[in-house]
Structures are given as C-alpha cells and as structure tokens.
Chains A and B, each alone.
Chain A
Amino acid sequence: MIDDSLLTPALQGVHLSRSFGEGETKTTVLYDVSIELFSGQITLLMGPSGSGKSTLLAILSGLLHPDSGTVMALGHDLWAMSDLERERFRLRHCGFIFQGYNLFNALTARQQLEMVLRWGEGASAGEARRRAEEMLDLLGLAKKAHLRPTELSGGEKQRVAIGRALIKEPNFCFADEPTSALDWKAGQQVIELLRSAAHDRGATVLVVAHDARIIEHVDRVVHMEDGRLWQQEEHEAREPVLHTLKQAR
C-alpha cells in the first residue's frame, strides 16, 4: 500500500527569493530557491554560516515573508493566507526548535509542555498533564518532569524544547541548529528524537545543522551556499523507490 501523501510533497517551496535592506545596503539572501519536503522524512539543510539556511527555514515555516515565490503546505498557499490564518496554520501544523532552548525559567519541564496545549488548544488541565507526561516519558525525561531549566543539562533542555514542539503532534517540525550548543552525544539524541518524529509519526522534519556526523542519521541532505541550493543527496533506499513509484504512476 502506498500512501498518497508519500508521493506529493507535504511542503513545497517554489522560486523563493528574499533580500534584506534597501538601496545600496540591499543584500539578497535567497536566489530563486525551490525545495520539496516529504512527510515521514527528516531532511538536513547544511551550509556555511550566512548562506541563508535560517531565512529559508523561516520562509518555509510561515515566519518570514518571501519577496517572491510560493510555499505550498498541505495543499495551502502559505503566503497567500492572512496573518491570522497563517498563525492558525502554524498552531495546528507546525512545531519549532531553536538553538537556544528558550524555556521559561519559572516553569517545570512538564509545565513548558502543558502550556502549549492549554494556550494553543484550550486543553483541560488534566488532559494537558496526561499528554505532557506521555511526551516526557517518550523523551526519557519522566523523572525530570518537575525540574526547572536551571536544574536540567543542555541536552535535557533541548529535549524539553523538542517535547514542546512535538506535543501538539504537528505535521511539520522545523529545527534551526538544535544541536549546535550540545556535545555530540546529546546532539545525537536530539537528532534521533527528530528522526523518530518523522519515521514513527509521519511528520515532515527539516533540520538545519553544521555537524557532518548528523548526515548518516537523516533521510536526505540539502546543501546551501550563498543563497542557492546546489545539491540534493539521497542516500537511503527509500527516496529512489519513491521516485520510481512516482514515475510509474
């Protein structure tokens, strides 16, 4: 059985361009970039610092407006929506992880997760608690649920941040350099968690990272340099198979 969603890209950026500044200080960061992301896959976006990775991720995830081009997400034109519609879209479908952990100092690991459900979906206290505990269990943090960020290690904090991104079971998960502040062991754990979000939950995961060691943990690698994508490596059997299937149709 081939799921239709595996054949059409869940997220598709077409001819995306973006520049910053005006007049003489104007710098173009993205030149006509097109990219497709598939559900159930984890894609790694690599490239030197300043090459435009974060900008591309922001545009694909509905945080930053492109100058031109379109983003189709689950069949919707993301940048044709109103701000409010896009906000609702992100609420229903998008999870985010950033380099800093960005956790509230005053709240426990469990509360950081509950907050998203209570404020985002209006979930009841009981339901939010149950789901937060489930998620922390999955992240290997069951025993740390009551701890605040200052009592957690960097890797643990980033896992809480992943929990916060995944707790609403989003279709998309965007991670901008989630491992840069971590040692390799903790970074590996983080990548594994993101990978299982794609493989076990069918999420579409886009990760920006530097470390080449990550490559073997992902389904697909996209390289970026000076605002252009220049290569797409597909190093697992799944992708070619999908392409063959597509052609067969």
Chain B
Amino acid sequence: MASYSLTTLWYERQRYVPGVLAVAFSALLIALQVGLLLGLFSITSIPIDHTKADVWMGAPEVSSVDLGRPIPEGRLARMAYLSEIKRCEIYLQGFAFWSKPNNGGSELCMVIGSHLSPDSLGKIKELTPEQCGLLAEEGTVIIDKSDEKKLGVEIEKKAEISGYPVRVVSTTHGLPSLAGPYVLCSIATARKCLPVWKDNTTTYVLGQCRNRQDAPKVVKQLNQYKDVLAFTQDEFSKRTRLHWLLRTKAGIALGYAAALGLLVGAVVTSQTLYAATVASLREYAVLRALGIPRWRIAFMVVSQSFWIGIIGIALALPAAYGLAWAVEYFIRVAIVALPWWLLSAAAAVTLAMALVSGLFALRSLRQIEPAMLLR
C-alpha cells in the first residue's frame, strides 16, 4: 500500500516538490530557531554551567546570575557551618564600564572575580592553570578572543574598568556572552572594578557538597533565612535562562515565527496534495465505480502526506546540522544547540503537520464522482 504512494511520489516528483520543500523548510525553521534559542540562552548561564559549585547563594531578589546584588561576606559562615558542605567560597560578578584605550569609547562588560586555585569553585573551566597564575597579579584580566574587537584591546593592551587601570594578559576561546563581554579576574581585581561591592561583601557564596545529591537539602536549609536565596547549580542555571527568555521576549517572538513556519508549511503541503489528488480525480473515480471503498483512497492521500513528511525531514536534518556548523565556522562560536531531543521534537512536529495537511487535502475526495466518467 505504501508502495503506490511512494511510487507516485517518485514518478511525479516535480508535482510534490513544493510540499517536500515546505516540510523541509518548517522542520529546518523549528530546529534552527529553537536551537538558536537554546544556544543563546545557554550562553547566559555559562558562569554557572562552567564552574564546579553545587550550590549558589545570593541576594533574595536575584532572578538571573548576571543580576546579583551585594550580600555580606559573612553569610559564608552560614554555608560553611552545614555538615554536608565540603568547602565554600565567595564569588563576585557584576556589570561595569570598560573604557577602551586611547579614548576609544566605553562598553558594558561583565566582571567575574573568583578564587583561582586549581580546586576553586568559581573559576571558569576555560581558564588554564597558567592563566590563573597570570591573574594572581592585581590589575590583570583575561577576556575572550571573540570580544577583542568589541573591547578594543589585544593581549598586553591596557584599558580601564570603572576608572581602574587593567591589563589584558591572555584570552580564552569559546566563551561567548550576550549582555556584555566577560572579563575574568581575581577577587582582589574585581573589588577594584566593581565599586558597588565594597570590602566585606560578595555577590554569591558558592558551595561544594561532600555528596552532590545533598545539594537540594543544603539549599532548603539555607532558604530558611529570608535575607538570602539559594539554588542548586541546575536550578540557578534554568532560572537564569528562563529569565532571559522572558526578559528579552525572544522566546515568544521565535515561538510565533516557528508557528508561522508550520502554518505556511501546512498550507503548501496541503495544497500540493490537494492538487495532486484533483489531478487523479478520474482515476480515483474509476476505483470508486469498481466499488473500492473511499477510505482506501483517503489512506493513499494520507500516506503520501506521511512520505512527504519523512522526505522533507530527511532533507531538513542534515541541512540544520550544516547551517549550525556554518554559523559556528564563521562566527567561531557554537551559538546553535541541536541536541537529539530537539531534532526529534522538530521532526515529530513537522511530521504531524504533514499528516494534518494530508487530512485537510482529503476534502478533494468529495469531488470524486463515478458518474463524471460517463460523458
């Protein structure tokens, strides 16, 4: 049964091309948009995902890792006191103004100051031990290679953060940013760059549990106090990405675009199938005259829509990978995330769309009338 629909699809392929392309386009659109969304917003939680802390504790109103407020450094004791905690430390993160050299203007940047020892919880994993050694000197910073142009500096160039002179000593690779370029440094340097964080304050207290499974329990105990808010690493990462999704309305916009893509795909696919069925109306009418039930013909149309969906998806998935690769190749940042579950979901949604188009195309079958053959 499938063979008749596939044979027809292949033999009259030029007729079905628009439908196949529409399906491929929809699948590609969904995969790339959601992939872009995932990729973009995973950038926002890099400070959480690329460090080793199991527990993050910050100011009560914190809704995203980049929006931390100062809390007294003394809150560290609260965490250190818990028996599940193996070690804990402070971590500074905040926005500051970066003044480019030679009055080149200024940029908003995101300063991250952490301990730099090999077992530090707040040290971004992209930093090598040598780089950590360089940062030990006060007034030194490391930026990402991709931000050099934006910040108007290169290695060994000097700039100012909030009026404090800093020197770029090295660069990382593959540390993209959304709100402002990351500037990595020691706690001491960060205090100079972030005047809001006076001595004896911190943005977060990071904790490592003796046993990682205890993190939710630790969080629960810390949240008994109303002057702090604590999260597990995973919770805080999700909270940050969700915040960005909603704050930027990007999620909603991309959602609409994906829905529009699906709609266009469905209309084109449905019209393709409708036209193809109408073109074979007399042949189907003969089958009806011969007493072949209507559902057999309906099944033929729907199975054509199924195969259109499968072929379209088969075209779209490699294309999605190719485009994601091209983006990565040209802007040197893996900005599109295409996990397997996203690709399967995009495939499932598009296949469903193709089948629904097939069902809509069934209205053409009402025109099948055996008496039309008697002229």
Residues on A lying within 8 angstroms of B by beta carbon are 54-55, 57-58, 61, 63-64, 87-92, 94-96, 98-100, 102-107, 111, 115-116, 118-120, 148, 161, 164-165, 168, 176
The answer to whether A120 touches B292 (Cβ under 8 A) is yes
The answer to whether A54 touches B290 (Cβ under 8 A) is no
Could you give 27 example pairs across A and B, Cβ below 8 Å? A54-B375, A58-B371, A61-B289, A87-B291, A87-B293, A88-B291, A91-B290, A92-B291, A95-B290, A96-B286, A96-B290, A103-B283, A105-B11, A105-B280, A106-B10, A107-B7, A107-B8, A115-B4, A118-B1, A119-B292, A119-B293, A120-B292, A161-B286, A164-B286, A165-B290, A168-B290, A176-B374
Which residues of chain A have C-beta atoms less than 8 A from B292's C-beta?
A: 91, 116, 119-120
The answer to whether A111 touches B289 (Cβ under 8 A) is no
Which residues of chain A have C-beta atoms less than 8 A from B12's C-beta?
A: 105-106
Distance, CA A118 to CA B12, complexed state (A): 22
Interface string of B226-266 (1 = CB under 8 A from A): 00000000000000000000000000000000000000000
Residue B282 at the A interface, CB < 8 A? yes
The answer to whether B290 touches A120 (Cβ under 8 A) is yes
What is the minimal beta-carbon distance from B278 to any residue of chain A, in angstroms? 14
The answer to whether B7 touches A90 (Cβ under 8 A) is no
- Determine the residue in chain A with the shortest Cβ distance to B281: A102
Which residues of chain B have C-beta atoms less than 8 A from A89's C-beta?
A: 291
The answer to whether A58 touches B374 (Cβ under 8 A) is yes
With A55-B374, A58-B374, A99-B375 in contact, is A119–B287 under 8 Å at CB? yes
The answer to whether B291 touches A94 (Cβ under 8 A) is yes
The answer to whether B286 touches A102 (Cβ under 8 A) is yes
Residue B18 at the A interface, CB < 8 A? no
With A63-B289, A92-B291 in contact, is A98–B373 under 8 Å at CB? yes
Which residues of chain A have C-beta atoms less than 8 A from B290's C-beta?
A: 90-91, 94-96, 116, 120, 164-165, 168
Of the candidates A63, A104, A118, A120, the one whose C-beta lies within 8 Å of that of B280 is A104
Which residues of chain B have C-beta atoms less than 8 A from A103's C-beta?
A: 283
- Determine the residue in chain B with the shortest Cβ distance to A170: B290
Cβ < 8 Å to A, chain B residues 283-314: 283, 285-287, 289-293, 296
Distance, CA A95 to CA B292, complexed state (A): 11
With A99-B375, A102-B282 in contact, is A90–B289 under 8 Å at CB? yes
The answer to whether B373 touches A119 (Cβ under 8 A) is no
Which residues of chain B have C-beta atoms less than 8 A from A63's C-beta?
A: 289, 370-371, 374
What is the minimal beta-carbon distance from B97 to any residue of chain A, in angstroms? 68
Which residues of chain A have C-beta atoms less than 8 A from B280's C-beta?
A: 104-105
Which residues of chain B have C-beta atoms less than 8 A from A54's C-beta?
A: 374-375
